Amino acid sequence: MALVTWDEKYSVGNGMIDKQHHSLVDLINQLHDAMKEGKSKEKVKPTLDALLKYTKEHFTYEEQRMQAANYPLFSEHKKQHEGFVAKVESFITDYNSGKAGLNFSIINFLKDWLLNHIAESDKKYRSYMQG
Ligand code: FEO
């Protein structure tokens, strides 16, 4: 069973951004499955790399849209993105070096951060970026 099931309650009112959030949820579910199945590092690494890459692409897109809409909370929102990317990069470095493993704690961190960020921060731009 998937760790997170996409639900309309996560919608921020923008079809492209909802689609990107949905893809991020899919990647977190893939990591969760990989962990449960005890997949090897070689099999997990591409999913971790894809999560980081897609997260960066999503944040860049969202930030461009926020700037284009003159969104007043842009700076603080961008800082949240930067903090998350730094944490994921740090985890991947530790994972690759063998200092950290994929476990429930890291999967839950990713899931909770993403869902809380969508619910508490992304939804605030709803009226600025509908479409
Ligand atoms: Fe959808 Fe601010 O990340």
For the chain, domain boundaries: 14-125
Compute the distance from residue 58 Cα to the ligand 1 centre, in Å: 7
How far apart are alpha carbons 128 and 126 in whole angstroms?
Answer: 5
Interval between CA 130 and ligand 1 midpoint (Å): 14
What pLDDT was estimated at residue 130?
80
Measured from the CA of 24, which atom of ligand 1 is nearest?
1
Give, for all 131 residues of the chain, the pLDDT tens digit. Answer: 899 998 889 999 999 999 999 999 999 999 999 999 998 898 899 999 999 999 999 999 999 999 999 999 999 999 999 999 999 999 999 999 999 999 999 999 999 999 999 999 999 999 998 86
Q: Quick one: which atom of ligand 1 is closest to the CA of 80?
A: 2
Q: How far apart are CA 69 and CA 124, in angstroms?
A: 13
Give the C-alpha separation, 99 to 114, whole Å.
Answer: 24
Given this structure, which CATH class describes domain 14-125?
mainly alpha
Please report the pLDDT score of residue 131 as a whole number. 65
The DSSP secondary-structure symbol of 2 reads -
Give this prediction's pTM.
Answer: 0.95
pLDDT of residue 1: 82
